[in-house]
Every structure is written in structure tokens, then in C-alpha cells.
Amino acid sequence: MSGQNDHSDLAIAQQRIAQLERDLAQIERTVGIGYWRWQLGDPKPTWSRGMRAIAKQDDVPNNPDWLRQQLDPSDQAMVASTIAKAFASGEPFFYRVRDRGQTGAIRYYDTYGDCEVDPTGRVTAIVGVVQDVTSRVESKAALVASEAQFRHLAEEASDVISRHAADGTCLYISPSCERVMGFKAEELIGQRTIMHVNPQDVDLVSSIVDGIQRSDTTALATYRFQRGDGQTVWLESAGRRVAPEESDSAGEFVVVTRDVTARKRVERELEEARERAETANQTKSRFLANMSHELRTPLNAIIGFSDILLQELFGPIGQPRYQEYAQLIHESGQLLLELISDILDMSKIEAGKYELHYEECDARELVEAVTRLIQGRAEDAGVMLGIALPEEPITLRADKRAVKQVIINLLSNAIKFTPGGGQVTVNVKRHDNFVIIAVTDTGIGIAPEDLPRLGHAFEQAKADSDLAKVGTGLGLALVRSLSQLHGGSMRIESALGIGTTVTVTLPLSREAVGRPAVA
């Protein structure tokens, strides 16, 4: 009976051992560990299933140095020395090794070992538990690298990074604060940095901080700050509340601050320059307006008296040369009056004092009247003047004098830059609620680089320097300005040696302004 019990106990023990081995194998697979045991005097160690999986080896080679030879050469001597010391001392040991494997990718393994001893204290075997710690080592290395990179950025960046409690107390600030704020980091940590803000800007900064507490958006503030050396600088700070899951204390916020003193100085200089330019422009406009009025009075007298001489209203002059001189005086005075009128109108427009007097008129009649007026100038220049009008009237509500001036300037420009034998054509048509007036010439054309400049005051094309000297460069500028005052537009198309087309689009009424016309 006793033999049967012994046999039963042995079977149970064997079952438990088998179950323990299965449990251990499961743990090895789950955790990624294995173990080996080397009995003193045995030719090779005994490996567990997990160890064979780590080594990717189904059986242990007879060569006892095989495992050591798989290691990185710089680790082989260390492992041999550690195991030798363990055999001699009987004390636990640890080492970490690298294995490049067949792919060349480095993997890291930790080995925790201990010694088995007999009753006399002699070491009889060594046991090692091995774990693949590659992911842990790589994660730690990445974390260290990330921390080093962040530390470098925080120390070397021109911007200051800081973290604050809900009441504004500085919890952390990067070392760059000494360069930007004139304080060392330890001088500001534990303080409310708002105490160094210019008193006039404290309310602004406080409101920004309050806004940060209530919102997840980034808030921006530009303010004056008194540095540690007493100098006042302009700082710009962008702050954002720290997410609750990222902070142990509610209401903490992070701020990035930079010195914008140079930018503020440039902005102030630009603003002062703009104000000076506006003042100078207004002064110029007032001067031109006053001078134009002053010049018009004597010019009207010169033109009127020269006209009397030409018509010989008080009897014959007697000498043909005097007649010629009177004609020259009349023409020169008329030209000068036109130039002064252009300058006066342009100065009024720039000063915002040009008033439009709206009335109903027929665009065709305006074009015909101007064409008759300018016909003599075209004949003198040897230029053929053509006109293309629709049969039906084109009624528009506009300032008749301003529209006439637009057409006169367009035709005068076209005739001036068209050589003798050339042609200038006026084309008028209606499109939706707009009238389109296009003046086309077969003149010298305009260079592409000159096109963007034209239409601005005192700008002229440079294709012919002699022609450019005739006039002020206000013709197209007035056309553009008067068209825009009506809510219209001007477009220039040109090619050197072929000719130019200037198209003006005007709304038929003020109600049509803002609705684009398609030519």
C-alpha cells in the first residue's frame, strides 16, 4: 500500500512540475524572458524555451562559448569576467549585453544571475535569467535625447518659455530670460512676472491672463517690460492654458515671450514717416490748388486779350508778324491753362474735395462733342480720327464735365503718341448697366514695364523721350481718378510698335456701382 501511495505522490509531483514548466513557458513568452542553468562540470548550459526563443536557437550547441560569441565583441570579455567572478564568489551578478544578430540591428539583453552552492558553500551551478530590454533601452535613449534637445532649445532659443500657476506665479522659466528680460531664472521663479510690467500695461496683461484662464485659445499681448538693469523693452507674449490632464494644478498656463523692441521702433518710425508724408501731401495739394487759382486769373487775361488781337476787334494789326505772335501767345496760354486745370483737378481729387455734379446725358452726344472739339488737333497732327457709336442712345447719370474731360484726355493722349498717317478710333457701347468707352490708336505703344506705372500722377511712358516732355503725366491719372469717382474703372492694353487701347467703364447710374461690367 505504501508503494502505491509513493507512486501516486510522484505522479502528482510530476504533473505539478509539468504545469509549472508550462506556466513558466507562458510567462517567458509573455514577458520576453528566458533562463539558463550551467551545472559545474557540464559541457554546456541548459536552456529554457524562452531562452531558446531569445537566441533563436532550437538546441544549445556543444560549444560552451557559442552564446558568448554571439555578443558584441566589446561585451564578450565583460561577460566572461562577470561569470568567472560569480563562480569564485558565489554572489549574484548582473550584466547588459548587445547583440547585433544576423541583420546588424542592435538588441539589448539584461541578465540577472545567481549561484547554487552545496552545504559546504562551494558553487555547484550558475543560473541566469535573461530579458530582452531593447524597447526599454531605446525608449530611455529617445527620452534622454528629447530632454537634451528641449534643454538646448530652452537655453539657446531667443524666445523665453515659462510656466505659471493660476495666480501668475512663475513655476519655470528658460535661461534665455536673462538675455531677454535682464533677470536670471532663479530671480523670477516664485515671482509674479507682471510686477515688472510697465504700470500703463498692467491692466492689458491682466486681462490677457484672465482670458487664458477662461479659454483654450492662444492669447497674444504686446507690452512694455522693465528689465533687471532698469531698461524698458517691448515684449510680445503668447500664452495658452495647460490642459487639465497635463497639470496637477488647475489654471496653469504656458507663455512664450520674445523681445520686439526693434520691431516696435520700426513700426513707430514707419508711422511717423506716414504722418509726415500725409502732411506733406496735404500741403502740396493745398499749394497746388492755391497756385492754380492764382495762375488762372492772369492766364485768362492773356488768352482773352490775345484772342482780341487775333480777331482784330479794334482794327487791323498791320503787321503779319504781330498776327503770328498773337497766335503763339493764344496757343501757349491755352496749353498752359489746360495743364494748370489738370493740376488743379488732380489736387482736388487727392485732397478729397472734388465734387461730382450728376445729371442725365447721352454718352454718344458727349463723345461726338469732344470729337468735334479735338478734330482740329488730329488734323494738325496728320492723324485720322474715327468714331463708332451705337444707334440707340446710351443714357447715363454722371458729371458731364468730368466725363468730357476723361474723353478729351484719352483722345489727346492717343493723338500725341500716334505718328502722322496713323489712326485713332473711339468705340462706345453699352454692356448691362455700364457704358464702355474705348480709345484705340496705332501709335508707338507702351513697353510692358511702363504699364503698371501709368495712371498714377506725374508718370509717363518712356518710349519717346521727346513726346514724354510734352505734358505733366496727369492725363491718364485724371482719367483713372475721375472714372473711379464715378464708380468705374480704367484698363490699358498696349504693344510696342502696334498701338494702345485705353478702356474706361462707367456705371449708367450710381445704383449700378459695384456690379462689375464685362467688356
Q: What is the pLDDT of residue 39?
A: 85
In degrees rounded to 5, what are phi and psi of residue 258?
A: -140, 155
Confidence of residue 517 (pLDDT cuts 50, 70, 90): very low
Q: Is 251 left (phi over 0), alpha (psi -120 to 50) or beta?
A: left
Examine the pLDDT at 429 and tell me if it is beyond 90: yes
* Residues sharing a CB contact under 8 Å with residue 94, sequence separation 6 or more, in sequence order: 110, 111, 112, 113
Give the distance from CA 53 to its chain's centroid: 56
SS3 426: strand
Instruction: Identify which has the larger pLDDT, 503 or 450.
Output: 503
For the beta sheet containing 46-47, the strands, ordered from the edge strand earlier in sequence to the opposite edge, are: 46-47, 33-39, 123-132, 107-117, 93-99
* Rounded-to-integer distance, Cα 280 and Cα 285, Å: 9
Confidence of residue 501 (pLDDT cuts 50, 70, 90): very high
DSSP for 347-371, please give it.
HHHHTT------EEEEHHHHHHHHH
pLDDT in tens, 224-266: 999 988 899 999 998 888 877 655 667 789 999 988 998 999 9
Q: Helix 475-485 vs helix 320-350: angle between axes, to the nearest 10 degrees?
A: 40
CA distances from 9 to 14, 17, 389, 481 (A): 9, 12, 124, 113
SS3 216: coil
Q: Is residue 197 a contact partner of residue 223, using CB atoms and an 8 Å limit? A: yes
Overall average pLDDT of the 68-80 stretch = 80
- Supply the mean pLDDT for the chain: 80
Give percent above pLDDT 70 in the chain.
79
Q: Which set of grid coordinates corresponds to residue 76? A: 564578450
Domains 2-131 and 266-350 share a fold: no
Examine the pLDDT at 321 and tell me if it is beyond 60: yes
Domain 359-512, classified CATH 3.30.360.10, yes or no:
no
Examine the pLDDT at 460 and tell me if it is beyond 70: no
Examine the pLDDT at 472 and tell me if it is beyond 70: no
* Residues sharing a CB contact under 8 Å with residue 331, sequence separation 6 or more, in sequence order: none
Overall average pLDDT of the 331-354 stretch = 72
CATH number of 266-350: 1.10.287
The topology (CATH level 3) of 2-131 is Beta-Lactamase (3.30.450)
Confidence of residue 469 (pLDDT cuts 50, 70, 90): very low
* Rounded-to-integer distance, Cα 439 and Cα 407, Å: 9
* Beta-bridge partner residues of 506: 435
pLDDT in tens, 12-28: 656 665 665 565 556 55
Examine the pLDDT at 515 and tell me if it is beyond 60: no
Domain extent listing, the chain: 2-131, 157-259, 266-350, 359-512
Q: Is residue 180 a contact partner of residue 158, using CB atoms and an 8 Å limit? A: yes
Overall average pLDDT of the 281-309 stretch = 73
Confidence of residue 519 (pLDDT cuts 50, 70, 90): very low
Overall average pLDDT of the 384-398 stretch = 91
CATH number of 157-259: 3.30.450.20
Confidence of residue 507 (pLDDT cuts 50, 70, 90): very high
Task: Tell me the HSE value of 442 on the side-chain side, using a 13 A CA sphere.
Answer: 12
Sequence-ordered alpha helix ranges (H) in 240-260:
none
Q: What is the pLDDT of residue 468?
A: 44
Q: What is the pLDDT of residue 123?
A: 87
Burial-class residue 221 by CB neighbours within 10 Å (0-12, 13-18, 19+).
buried
* Rounded-to-integer distance, Cα 431 and Cα 108, Å: 81
Instruction: Identify which has the larger pLDDT, 286 or 262.
Output: 262
